[in-house]
A and B are shown apart, each in its own frame.
Chain A
């Protein structure tokens, strides 16, 4: 399983829980969950590239 796939599956499951807990109505839950998922993935990739020049 690639790192990206693990990241996306993890982000999807976490977004699902936050979506269900954070909003009351199904449509709002779906919108919130999708927004969180997108932010998780995009910001993680962005953070990865930002850290790329720095050696551990």
Chain B
């Protein structure tokens, strides 16, 4: 673990991995239970959003707010690119769960960004390592 407030190359690597796959950051910092629950919550929400055919926000130049949506959704990491490659990014606007789904994929990305901040705090010693889940 780095000294307080210090971002070491190892912690940087952990943060990248935590971004790519939600929960891995906590697992690598010996908080496997917490990492597993975060992975379940974040990836579950992302997969549910895609299953509802909500797709993901894509940046549209004529609609500047979509850039924020896309940036937020990108927070989910590798899942974003996997969904793009799998052709699930567009969603199906005529589906009943479209709005829910798109919101869920966005929230999944935002929650993973929150989890990244938690990994940073634990890794730099700003947050004590609890013996919690």
Contacts and interface: CB of A to CB of B under 8 A. Distances in A.
Given A6-B100, A9-B48, A17 B42 contact: yes
B103 to A, nearest CB: 8
Determine chain A's interface SS by DSSP, over half rule.
helix
Contacts of B132: 23-26, 29
A13 interface: yes
Contacts, number: 55
Interface stretch (B8-16, B32-40, B60-68): B32-40
A26 B132 CA distance: 5
Interface residues of B, number: 24
A26 B42 contact: no
B120 to A, nearest CB: 12
Interface of B: 34, 37-38, 40-42, 44-45, 48, 52, 96-97, 100, 103-104, 107, 111, 114-115, 118, 128, 130, 132-133
Interface of A: 1, 3, 6-7, 9-10, 13-14, 16-17, 20-21, 23-26, 29
